[in-house]
Amino acid sequence: MLIKNYKFNYSLIGKLDKPLILFLHGFMGNIEEFNEATKLLSDDFSHLKIDLPGHGKTQLLGRDEYYTMANTAYALINLLDELKITRCFLVGYSMGGRLALYLALHFPERFYKVVLESASPGLPTEAEQLERIKFDTQIGKKLTGSLEKSDFAAFLSNWYNQPIFGYIKNRLEYDRMIKSRLQNNPIELDKSLRFMGTGCQPSLWQKLKDNKIPILLLVGEYDQKFIAINTDMSKICKFSQLKIISNAGHNIHFENTLEFVESIKYFFPQQLKN
C-alpha cells in the first residue's frame, strides 16, 4: 500500500511542540467535522484533520479496494510517517471511530490514547454482516439516486430522523452541519459504504481483549443502541472506560461540544509531546 494511491486532503494546525490529536470524522462528514471542538482545544493541542476516502476533497487513485478499512488504515499510517509524526493522540467519531479502533488495535505503538465517539467494533457474526451489507446497499442506491442537491438534502433530512441522532434537528447549528454535509459527492459516499461500511469491515470484537492502550468510549445519553454496544465493549476491552455524555445523541461533538472537549482534555494529558 503506497501513499501515492491516496491524495489526502488534510489540515495540520498548531505548534507541534503541543500534543497532537488526529481526528477522524464520521460517515458523510469531512475535514470540517470537528471545527468547533478544535477551536476550544487549540490552546492545549495541535491537531490533524483529514478527509477520509469517499469524503470531502480526498482523492483515491486506482482500484475501489483502496476504500477498505485495512487499506485506509495503512495509508493513514503512511501519511503520519510522511508528516514525521511518530506518535499522537487519536479521536474518531462513528465511522471514523471504527477506523480509529482498527488503528489502535493494529498500530498501538503509534498512539498514546484513543477517544472513540459513538463507535463500534463492527458486527460479530457473518449473518449480521450480510444483513448490514444488504441494508447499506439500499442506502447506497438512494445516495447515487440523489445527485441533485435538493435530493441529497432530502436524503440527509431523512438520515437524521434516525432515533440514534436524538434531537439533533432541534439544534441551532443543524443547518450549518447539513450545508457541510452537502459538500460531499453521493457517488463517493456510496463507495465508502460499500467498502468501509459496518457490514464489510473486519469484525474487531475478538481483538478487543488484546487492546494495549487506554481508550475512552463516549456515547450520548439519547443513543441507546450505542450505549448497549459500548457497554459490551467496555467489559471486553482492556484499559477502556465508558462515559455517557448528557444532552446528546449519536453526534456528541456537535450536540454537546463543551462536555466532549472537557472529556478529551481530562483524558489526554497535556504534558505529553509529539
Q: Is the pLDDT reported for residue 172 higher than 70?
A: yes
pLDDT at 25: 98
Let me know: does 121 contact 98? Beta carbons within 8 Å: yes
C-alpha cell at position 196: 468501509
Question: What residues does 92 pair with on adjacent strands?
Answer: 24, 116
* Whole-number pLDDT of residue 153: 94
> What digits encode the pLDDT tens for the residues 2-25?
567 899 999 999 887 899 999 999
DSSP string computed for 147-202: -SHHHHHHHHHHHTTSGGGTTGGGSTTHHHHHHHHTTS-HHHHHHHHHHHSTTTSP
Find the angle CA(168)-CA(177)-CA(65) to the nearest 5 degrees: 105
| Residue 272 pLDDT grade (very low, low, confident, very high; cuts 50, 70, 90) | low
- Planar angle of CA 114, 178, 13, nearest 5 degrees: 45
Tell me which of 147 and 57 has the higher pLDDT: 57
Q: What is the pLDDT of residues 193-247, one digit of tens each?
A: 999 999 999 999 999 999 999 999 999 999 999 999 999 999 999 999 999 999 9
d(CA 216, CA 259): 14
Cα separation, 138 vs 35, whole angstroms: 31
Q: What are phi and psi of 7, to 5 degrees?
A: -105, 80
User: What is the pLDDT, as a whole number, of residue 3?
Assistant: 66
176 falls in which pLDDT band (50, 70, 90)?
A: very high
Q: How many angstroms separate the CA atoms of 262 and 258, rounded?
A: 6
H-type helices in 5-67, by residue range? 35-41
Q: How far apart are CA 48 and CA 37, in angstroms?
A: 13
Q: Which amino acid is at 194?
A: R
Which three-class secondary structure state does DSSP give residue 244? Answer: strand
Is the C-alpha dihedral spanning 174, 119, 6, 65 positive or negative? negative
Domains of the chain: 3-267 (3.40.50.1820)
- Per-residue model confidence (pLDDT) at position 14: 87
CA distance 33 to 127: 32
- Which pLDDT band holds residue 274 (cuts at 50, 70, 90)? very low
pLDDT tens track for 82-132: 999 999 999 999 999 999 999 999 999 999 999 999 999 999 999 999 999
The pTM (predicted TM-score) of the whole model is 0.96
Q: What is the pLDDT of residues 142-165, one digit of tens each?
A: 998 888 888 999 999 999 999 999
Q: Which amino acid is at 138?
A: Q
Backbone angles phi, psi at 103, to 5 degrees: -65, -45
